[in-house]
Amino acid sequence: MPKLTGHILTPQGFVKGQLSMAADGRISGIVGESIDARTVREAGLPIILPGFVDLHVHGGGGCDVMDAGQSCEKIARTHAQYGTTSLLATTMTAPYSDLHRAFTDMAPAVGTRQHNAARVLGVHLEGPYINAGKLGAQPDYARPVEPDELAQLHALAPIKLITMAPEVPGNNARIAALVAAGFKIQIGHSSGTYEEGLAAMAEGADGFTHLFNAMTGLHHRKPGMVGCALAHAHFAEVIPDLLHVHPGAIHVALRAIPHLFCVTDSTAATGMPDGDYMLGRSKVTKCLGGVRLPDGTLAGSTLTMDQALRNLVNTIGLSLTDASKRVSTYAADYIGAHDRGRLVAGAFADVVVLDQDLQLVDIYTEGVAIEYAN
């Protein structure tokens, strides 16, 4: 089985040594001596980090999760090329018939080992239980939580994470039961107040979907959902493509939210040339590094997680250790995947190998090398 030598990021810090993988796809051991993290990029050895974990993936490689057929497999293969070793397939707000078809088609890819692909750990249901006044790029099919609908979809493919607007009548009253059933609840696409956010957190909601985007902003007399997140959240998503959120706002969130983690919110246009693509039922255009609706509204992104890491280090100014946690460890911890997002004996051998410029060299998913077109 593979053995990797270089500067390895462990939970205790960087070591100069060797990482061994076992036949069961897990890390069998790490040996080495501790080194100063500040020297990691200067010594000429490969940099070995946990594989990236992305909890908000709509598409990639020209495919959308809401497409029919084997789109989920293609999306997982596309993101593996950029170092993502596990992800949540993320749906759009849509009629039940569209969601049923999407769940049925993605079911074979969820929770099974796909060749040359990231592991799809489950589904992030981003809508339809959101506020029609904060759709962002979501189609206008928002509605309150429908438990029977949710149960039917979950039976087709496991839902790990639900984005919800708690101020929508009936939604807040459902949160505690959903949390007790094992779902993670994030607040997002919300016009709610600070107080409504606090009430949702009291019921068990404990995250925020793409912080700052599609939610009520911070004002000193009306703190809004952004204020609620900054004051009380331990976990929240952020899209660090430097288009969705200004670097200064990311700095604010980093000071306030201990386990702020990165997502791509990626679309079918990820890994593809400029042009027109579909996001659910909506046509979007990729140009100038972004994806937008015809009216100019940002509609997801073309961000990849390796670029997210570089943005955190090179633009935001985080240490490589901190940045790695925000593209791997914290997201894994949020959904309870404690055997991913970290390099330690017994964890899955989800590994990325980078050069001194933080460009990908090799990628391993559960101990198997991705056929990487570098």
Question: What order do you get walking across the sheet with 159-164 strand by strand?
Answer: 52-57, 84-91, 119-126, 159-164, 184-187, 207-208
Q: Cα separation of 349 and 27, whole Å?
A: 5
Which residues have CB under 8 Å from 65's CB, separation 6+? 57, 58, 59, 71, 72, 75, 89, 90, 91, 92, 102, 106
Q: Is 140 a catalytic residue?
A: no
Q: Comparing C-alpha atoms, which of 101, 117, 93 is closest to residue 69?
A: 101
Choice among 54, 67, 265, 306 that is catalytic: 265
Provide the H-helix boundaries in 81-223. 96-106, 147-156, 171-180, 194-203
**For residue 204, how many other CB atoms are within 10 A of its CB?**
15
Query: CA–CA distance from 39 to each of 11, 14, 58, 127, 241 (Å)?
Result: 17, 10, 37, 44, 27
Q: Cα separation of 109 and 334, whole Å?
A: 22
Query: CA–CA distance from 101 to each of 56, 152, 194, 361 (Å)?
Result: 19, 12, 36, 37
Catalytic residue list: 265
